[in-house]
Amino acid sequence: MRSKFIKIVVVLWACVLVAGLQSCKKDPNPDTPTTPDTPTTSKNTELLEIIKNYTNNTVIKTYELLADKSMELLEACKTLQASPTDANVLAATQKWIEARKYWEMSEAFLYGPAEYNSLDPRIDSWPLAKALLDNYLNKDMSNVDAAYVRTYYGESLIGFHAIEYVIFEGGQPKDVTKITANELIYLVAVAEVLQGDCIRLEASWSEDISSAKQAILDDAELEISANFGWEMINAGSAGSRFKTPVHAVQEIVGGCQTIADEVGNEKIADPYKSKNVLDVESWYSWNSLIDFTDNIYSIQNSYLGGMENYRTGRSLSDYVKSKNPQLDTDIRNAIQNAITKIQAIPAPFRNQLNNAASAPAIEEAMDACNHLEQQLSLINGIVIAE
């Protein structure tokens, strides 16, 4: 993310005046769920099945794997601190890449806990405050641990990119002789904070996290404010902030639109226009194009109702296809086209900013993301209808 100013897709609903005059305004306080009374209809029943499959097979499964990989990343960082070798740097970079993949595949659902608990900026703020961090790393770090980092380090000093800075250089695992003892202390502390934040994301959506993950939350005194997954699955019922299943589906579609727009108009376009390598996200690891592609996969998983190998039951794609088969085909094609166009940009992205030969590929990828966002916007008309 680019110090994420999350764009909110606003959909205007016409409020129907009925006896009792129930307000149509969404509760601005995420910890104060609304209590609507939505009638059971065949449409609502179908949408609730779609929402349930999306919640379990896309969101919770992605966050479960992200949390799992963040735990493995922490262990790799601890091993590197205990035994600083090039082999252990390589192992840590591999675990970073694995965990990073699931984070990027979650960016189509950065609403809810990722937003109102500020977990998105804590996990993925960019750019890193490098000058400030270098200043800290030149001081005594003997008292720095995860609790200290949580208390005193801001969002631009933690998360994936802080870890990336320590263990990568020029797109490769950093030579272990270039990693200082202070950096290793910082690395482990930040990796532990990242682990806690990733587990919080899973726990904020799921009622069933492992006992090991719950113990990590308890030991760090990290609280979970609400079960957002339950609220999604029970949209339209008392206790959910979503007044109807349609509102929950709108949230899903809006999340997909937001990341399609961000990839095309910020993650790719901003550095391409500025020609400044410092504007390229994940440029220490040279992982940028993989990040962008995984962002589009997050849209695909949301639309198809689950991560690959976890797609069961009805999906948003099935619903759109039942109402407008051509639009479903167009959206599927737009998703694949965006992936293809991003992958066609020569790697690493950071080296293409001033390369005239790469300009057409970069611009085609931007256009493909914008076209995808436009296609996704058409879903709302179908869901609102009837």
Closest CA to 4 of 150, 102, 115, 129: 115
Q: What is the mean pLDDT of the chain?
A: 91
Q: DSSP labels for 49-79?
A: HHHHHHIIIIIIHHHHHHHHHHHHHHHHHHH
Give the predicted TM-score (pTM) of the model: 0.90
Closest CA to 112 of 53, 49, 63: 63
Contact 260, 292 (CB under 8 A): no
pLDDT of residue 63: 98
pLDDT at 15 over 50: no
Count CB-CB contacts under 10 A for residue 314: 18
pLDDT of residue 98: 98
Residue boundaries of the structural domains of the chain:
57-225, 234-386
pLDDT of residue 377: 98
Name, in order, each residue with C-beta under 8 angstroms of 367's C-beta and a sequence gap of 6 or more. Answer: 264, 341
Q: Report the percentage of the chain scoring pLDDT > 90.
A: 88
pLDDT tens, position by position, 221-232: 999 978 999 999
pLDDT at 7 over 60: no
Contact 262, 366 (CB under 8 A): no
pLDDT at 363 over 90: yes
* Amino acid letter, residue 361: A
Domain 234-386 fold is A middle domain of Talin 1 (1.20.1420)
Whether 234-386 and 57-225 are alike in CATH topology: the answer is yes
Whole-number Å distance between alpha carbons of 314 and 89 = 43
Domain 57-225 fold is A middle domain of Talin 1 (1.20.1420)
Which of the 8 DSSP states describes residue 158? S
Name, in order, each residue with C-beta under 8 angstroms of 347's C-beta and a sequence gap of 6 or more. Answer: 286, 289
pLDDT at 13 over 90: no
